[in-house]
Amino acid sequence: MMSMVSTAAASQPTTAKAEGRSPFVRLHELLADIKPGKPPINLSVGEPQHPIPPFVGPVLMAHLNDFGRYPANKGTERFRQAAAAWLDRRYRLTRPMDPESEVIVLNGTREGLFLGAVAAKRFVPRRAGKPAILIPNPFYAAYSAGAAAAECEPVYLPTTRATGFLPDLDAISEELLARTVAFYIASPSNPQGAVADQAYLSRLSALARRFGFLVFADECYCEVYLNGRAPHGMLEVSGPDFANVVVFHSLSKRSNLPGLRVGFAAGDRRFLARYVELRNIAAPQVPVPAQEVAIAAYGDEAHVDRNREMYVAKFDLADQIIGDRYGYQRPPGGFFLWLDVSAQGGDEEASKRLWRDGGLRVIPGHYLARDGADGSNPGTNYIRVALVQDKETTAEALHRLVAVLG
């Protein structure tokens, strides 16, 4: 049953008008006057450093002439068919996706997640009160930027160890749900690597249909799972019409192609029709050669399996080197460590020490979150460590981390 807890009660979601500053700008300022004590290793940015797939260059060369024409904003037919076919293979859907009306290409998920909020504000029925967008806290910055652009109230839902690092659905009041425009959810989550099970996703989908809001499921880490069990996706639980659900996928993490800037959105065809209208006037098209690379990437699983094996090997290192320090528990997905450094002076102090004494660049956890209604910040006393380097560099970094923090 949905509890009637208010938004100021147990969940203590955060509302804010100002959306804050980039966590990476804040990190630069924090470390600007500190010289690294060892050759730097950057563990702050979630930018995969594994090799790109070998087919990228040949595919681009074969389609160079396609840079000479404007592509369709919704994506080429070949790309949409490839994305739909991959979704059908990857997930247990109630029916195949329609590539004509239920899939559109994106310039990576950041652009898609941002503009999605603006399109959602125009799409959903009139809200019962000030329109709100619900955001897990900590969160990916594009969510809050989208809420601000849509002129909606961002409401930050704490994701802590006590909530399984996912928003507590029972702690959201019906008053808040009735004025919700969109609910962002990431599984695996950034930064904690939490994976929502099928029951959780089903409950969220049912709430979206009941209250008339959209679920924006950020599934860009869906192929980086560490326990042999592929995460479920929102489309699996959204019924035969995928109503009120849109998923966002990218090749950045799946295929080590963060610079390609290709992804897609799929789901509710009614919303996507409005979304394409907005993108036609507000977003650049994705070059056809890049879409051709994406077609090859979504048609090949071998490079994805190798990529996952490399992440699993690095978390095996973390298990061995970190052990039970800093509250570490191997997450089911993603490529971040979310480490409790409260005993090491807190997240900013630990980040400074790691840079000054170990040459390690990590993100203070509270830079990735907002203060709650009670003044607490669910990222305080944590650091986010991105295991994106090669295995040897990762081993060196983890040994340095333990040596510095103790």
pLDDT tens for each residue of 147-172: 999 999 999 999 999 999 999 999 99
Q: Which of 281, 300, 319 is the last residue of a domain?
A: 300
Q: Which of 300, 318, 353 is the last residue of a domain?
A: 300
Instruction: Please check whether residues 34 and 101 belong to one and the same domain.
Output: no
Give 68's contacts (C-beta < 8 A, 6+ positions apart). Answer: none
Structure tokens at 170: 């029972």
Residue 345 near residue 404 (C-beta atoms within 8 A)? no
Residue 10 lies in a domain: no
Instruction: Please check whether residues 356 and 331 belong to one and the same domain.
Output: yes
Residue 275 has pLDDT above 90, yes or no: yes
For residue range 192-231, list pLDDT tens digits in order: 999 999 999 999 999 999 999 999 999 999 999 999 999 9
For strand 214-218 and strand 245-250, is the pairing parallel, antiparallel, or unpaired?
parallel
Residue 16 has pLDDT above 50, yes or no: no
Instruction: Please check whether residues 276 and 326 belong to one and the same domain.
Output: no
Instruction: Please check whether residues 264 and 346 belong to one and the same domain.
Output: no
Q: Domain range holding 343?
A: 19-46+303-405
Mean pLDDT of 176-187: 98
Instruction: Please check whether residues 384 and 398 belong to one and the same domain.
Output: yes
Instruction: Please check whether residues 213 and 145 belong to one and the same domain.
Output: yes
Residue 205 lies in a domain: yes
Residue 70 lies in a domain: yes
The proportion of the chain whose per-residue pLDDT surpasses 70, expressed as a percent, equals 95
Residue 347 has pLDDT above 60, yes or no: yes
Residue 2 lies in a domain: no
Residue 44 near residue 361 (C-beta atoms within 8 A)? yes
Instruction: Please check whether residues 294 and 362 belong to one and the same domain.
Output: no
Please give the Cα distance from 297 to 201 (Å, whole number). 27
Please list the residues that pair with 247 across neighbouring strands: 217, 266
Q: What is the CATH number of the domain that holds 387?
A: 3.90.1150.10
- Phi, psi angle pair for 81, to nearest 5°: -65, -40
- Total of domains in the chain: 2
Structure tokens at 165: 């690092």
pLDDT at position 375 is 87
Residue 173 lies in a domain: yes
At residue 373 the predicted structure's pLDDT band, cuts being 50, 70 and 90, is: confident
Instruction: Please check whether residues 30 and 97 belong to one and the same domain.
Output: no
Residue 103 has pLDDT above 50, yes or no: yes
Instruction: Please check whether residues 259 and 371 belong to one and the same domain.
Output: no
Nearest to 273 by CA among 396, 109, 104, 147: 104
Q: Which of 300, 331, 350 is the last residue of a domain?
A: 300
Q: Which CA distances in Å does 222 have to 200, 206, 233, 247, 385?
A: 16, 22, 8, 11, 19
